[in-house]
Structure 1
Amino acid sequence: MSALPVTLTVPLWAEAGRSADPAQPVLVFLHGIGGGKQGFASQLAYFAQAGWRALAWDMPGYGQSAALNPVDFPALADALLRMLDAAGIRRAVLIGHSMGGMVAQQAWTLCPERIAGLVIAASSPAFGHSTGEFQKQFVAQRLAPLDAGKTMAEVAQALIPTMVAPAYQGPGFALAWDCMSAVPCATYRASIQALVTFEQRAALPTITVPTLCLAAEYDTTAPPEVMRRMAEKIPGAVFEVLADAGHLLYFEQPDRFNAVIDHFLKKQGLDRAE
């Protein structure tokens, strides 16, 4: 499938394609803590070629998007909705990776009428309490390199190999490094602190739109078993595991990631207008 050009609209997002029917939902890709809209170039090109309007957002504090103060999930979900308004999107299929999957869940609690479907990839419905020992250790571990004076490029160089499948050395490694290296230190710190406050387990049974919970075989951040239990709590949710991939599954296996989502969208009838 040949790639279509991806054009920048405003600094908040990158976009490709246009649906033949304006009533068809728009695909909106939401990145994780170490990501950015540029990481979804393969997805935008693929789904634009398939007839979708597809958009990848830079969360607040990423790219040229203005930062939030403070950073929390209600504010992130509100910023997402304001972006949908600015982009003229009435209803979206939210495709969220890691923290982006959490933002998608939070958005469901805020305005379910704007959401036509969910793809939650390598994510979870909760991280626990920010004052818990595990959470405090997680924050300390992730922020220790910055506290020691390391740059985000150095953080990426050390962290990314732990987040991919064993022995992975494909081209997605360089793209993931580019994305994480470009994240401002202040944004990374604020996102890590926000991550450990996320809690939406009670919302899972309320999700009434088609939902795909997509795990990765070698993901130790959002293990397949965690995502399987999550899917069981969402009425009618589909659960799949992408083999030979780690937490950065769409960087590692972009073609298979795209194909799984494409199949889900078609099977659920989301490729057709409302």
Structure 2
Amino acid sequence: MTAVPTFTTLGGGPTVLMLHGIGGGHLSFAPQVESLAVAGYRAVAWDMPGYGHSAPIEPYTFKGLAQSCVLLIESLKVSNVVLVGHSMGGMVAQEVVARRPDLVSRLVLCGTSPAFGKPDGDWQREFVSQRTAPLDAGKSMADLAETLVPQMVGPGSLPEGLRLATHCMGMVPAATYRRALECIVTFDRRANLPNINVPTLLIAGEHDRNAPPAVMKKMAEAIPRSTFIQMKGIGHLQNLEAPDDFDGLLLNFLSLPQELLH
């Protein structure tokens, strides 16, 4: 039996479950957990399998990650949740909504895409080897974070947000990071976008090279009840680079009555 992943929770009210990216952890959503709890929501941030104190899964696939997420939702004893997914977490969110649409009431996708190109493509292989080369050369995840995080953000990012992002990435076990990289290049849920029938908010960072605004806008056009927003001056780590603006967008979306969300 798979163990329920570990998570942090704060506040009471409708449940908002936040799924971090490949270099993250539950702490990646620390500003949002606080804002949501204050605003009357039950804020839950998980550690993806293999992160924090969550047991790793074997094989490390999107199917397995989605099953772990479903297990967590069921353990929260709620009929449905708002899913907020950043980057790889946004892919897990798409996988969950494809497999168990009954569990999701609203969807927020940030800095993510519906596919990672072709798994046999040179670009994907290049992406993985580029990210793992420093580890192969004996560097630590903390070293990797010092180099990678500054490359991911936009000119308008908050220094404290960068520090938190660097800290989170430095805490990721190298073995998990490698497994997650191998997993992420297999993702392709483009065909399911028209089937997503819950209100969906897509948040892109103007300077995000991992999930460029053009890619996210196209994605939004394929999702029937979606809203696309681009954050100016911001890169890939929207929720940490500009937490106040991000929280404003999120809370505004959550407060809109269902019937207003086309």
What range describes the TM-score normalised by the shorter chain of this pair?
over 0.9
Q: Hey, what does 1:100 align to over in structure 2?
A: 89
Q: Which moved more, 1:204-213 or 1:78-87?
A: 78-87
Q: Distance in 2 between matches of 1:110 and 1:82?
A: 13
Letter in 1 for 2:37: A
Residues 232 and 116 from structure 1, CA distance in 2 versus in 1: closer, same or farther, beyond 3 angstroms? same
Q: Distance in 2 between matches of 1:198 and 1:173?
A: 27
Letter in 2 for 1:17: G
Q: Distance in 2 between matches of 1:114 and 1:236?
A: 17
Q: Hey, what does 2:11 align to over in structure 1?
A: 17
SS at match of 2:33: helix
Q: Which moved more, 1:34-43 or 1:201-210?
A: 34-43
Q: Distance in 2 between matches of 1:149 and 1:139?
A: 16
Matched, 1:259 2:253: no
Q: Distance in 1 between matches of 2:91 and 2:100?
A: 14
Q: Hey, what does 1:80 align to over in structure 2?
A: 69
Letter in 2 for 1:207: I
SS at match of 1:29: strand
Matched, 1:217 2:223: no
Q: Distance in 2 between matches of 1:111 and 1:11?
A: 18
Q: Is the 8 A contact 1:11 1:63 kept in 2?
A: no
Q: Distance in 1 between matches of 2:205 and 2:232?
A: 6
How far the C-alpha of 1:87 sits from its partner, in A, is: 2.1
Letter in 2 for 1:58: D
How far the C-alpha of 1:90 sits from its partner, in A, is: 2.1
Matched, 1:134 2:123: yes
Matched, 1:196 2:196: no
Q: Cα deviation per residue 1:175-219 (whole Å; 9 max; x = unaligned)? A: 001100000000000000100000000000000000001100110
Letter in 2 for 1:43: Q
Q: Is the 8 A contact 2:10 2:34 kept in 1?
A: yes
SS at match of 1:62: coil
Q: Cα deviation per residue 1:195-252 (whole Å; 9 max; x = unaligned)? A: 0000000000000000001100110110000000000000021000011111011111
Letter in 2 for 1:177: T
Letter in 2 for 1:14: T
Q: Is the 8 A contact 2:158 2:240 kept in 1?
A: no
How far the C-alpha of 1:166 sits from its partner, in A, is: 3.0
Q: Distance in 2 between matches of 1:78 and 1:58?
A: 14
Q: Distance in 2 between matches of 1:265 and 1:168?
A: 24
| Mapping of residues 44-59 of structure 1, within 5 Å | 44-59=33-48
Structure 2 unaligned spans of 5+: none
Q: Cα deviation per residue 1:74-105 (whole Å; 9 max; x = unaligned)? A: 10000000111222232011000000000000
Q: Distance in 2 between matches of 1:217 and 1:169?
A: 15
Alignment RMSD: 1.4
TM-score by length of 1: 0.91
Q: Distance in 2 between matches of 1:167 and 1:269?
A: 32
Q: Distance in 2 between matches of 1:261 and 1:167?
A: 19
Q: Distance in 1 between matches of 2:121 and 2:86?
A: 24
Q: Distance in 1 between matches of 2:122 and 2:30?
A: 38
Q: Is the 8 A contact 1:210 1:268 kept in 2?
A: no
SS at match of 1:85: helix
1:115 to 70, 84, 104: 104
Letter in 2 for 1:27: V
Q: Is the 8 A contact 1:123 1:227 kept in 2?
A: yes
TM-score by length of 2: 0.95
2:53 to 25, 39, 64: 64
